[in-house]
Structure 1
Amino acid sequence: MNKEEQLLQKRLAELSETAFARGIVTFSDFLNLNELNILHTTPKDMFPARYETYGGYGLSERQMVAFLPDALYYEYVYPVSAIEIRPVNRKFAEELTHRDYLGALMNLGIERCKLGDIMADDGRAVLFAKEELAAYITHELTRIRHTTVLAEQCTAAEFDYVPRYEELKGTVPSIRLDTVLSVAYPLSRSKLTSYIEGGKVFVNGKLITSNGCQIKESDRISIRGMGRLAYEGILSRTKKGRYMIAVRKYI
Structure 2
Amino acid sequence: MVDPTNEEKLLLTQITELAERSLHEQQPLWTDFLDPSQLEQVKAVLAWNNGVRFRVFGGYSKAERQRLVVYPDYYIAEAIEPALGYLQIVSNSPEELTHRDFLGSILALGLKREKIGDLLVTGSVCQVILVPELVPFILSHLERVGNSRVKTAEIEPEQLNLPDIREKEIRTTVASLRLDALAALGFGESRTKMAREIRAERLKVNWKPVKNPDQLVSPGDVISMRGRGRVVFREQTGTSKKGRLGVVLVRQL
> So what's the TM-score if we normalise by structure 1?
0.72
CA contact (8 A) 2:51 2:73 kept: no
- Calculate percent identity across the aligned residue pairs: 23
Q: Residue 84 of structure 2 aligns with which residue?
A: 80
CA contact (8 A) 1:17 1:47 kept: no
Unmatched tracts of structure 2, length 5 or more: none
CA contact (8 A) 1:142 1:148 kept: yes
Q: Partners in 1 of 2:49 and 2:76 — Cα distance?
A: 23
CA contact (8 A) 1:13 1:47 kept: no
Report the Cα offset of residue 129 of structure 1. 0.7
Deviation string, structure 1 residues 163-192 (Cα, Å, up to 9, x no partner)? 45352433347xx79687565224539967
Amino acid at match of 2:149: T
Q: Partners in 2 of 1:148 and 1:112 — Cα distance?
A: 22
Q: Partners in 2 of 1:44 and 1:224 — Cα distance?
A: 31
CA contact (8 A) 1:23 1:71 kept: no
CA contact (8 A) 1:202 1:222 kept: yes
Q: Partners in 2 of 1:63 and 1:206 — Cα distance?
A: 16
Matches within 5 A, 1:147-166: 147-166=148-167
Q: Partners in 2 of 1:244 and 1:3 — Cα distance?
A: 34
Q: Residue 58 of structure 1 aligns with which residue?
A: 61
Deviation string, structure 1 residues 171-227 (Cα, Å, up to 9, x no partner)? 347xx79687565224539967x96xx9x6545x79999746233xxx8x2425353
SS at match of 1:116: strand
Report the Cα offset of residue 97 of structure 1. 1.9
Matches within 5 A, 1:143-222: 143-172=144-173, 183-185=185-187, 186-188=189-191, 201-203=204-206, 211=216, 213-215=218-220, 221-222=222-223
SS at match of 2:89: strand
CA contact (8 A) 1:29 1:114 kept: yes
Q: 2:6 matched to 1:9?
A: no
Q: Mean Cα displacement is larger for which, 23-32 or 177-186?
A: 177-186
Q: Residue 110 of structure 2 aligns with which residue?
A: 109
Q: How many residues align?
A: 240
How large is the RMSD of aligned CA atoms in angstroms?
4.1
Q: Partners in 1 of 2:73 and 2:120 — Cα distance?
A: 35
Deviation string, structure 1 residues 105-154 (Cα, Å, up to 9, x no partner)? 12222222111122323122111110111122123212222211111222
SS at match of 1:67: strand
Q: 2:229 matched to 1:227?
A: yes
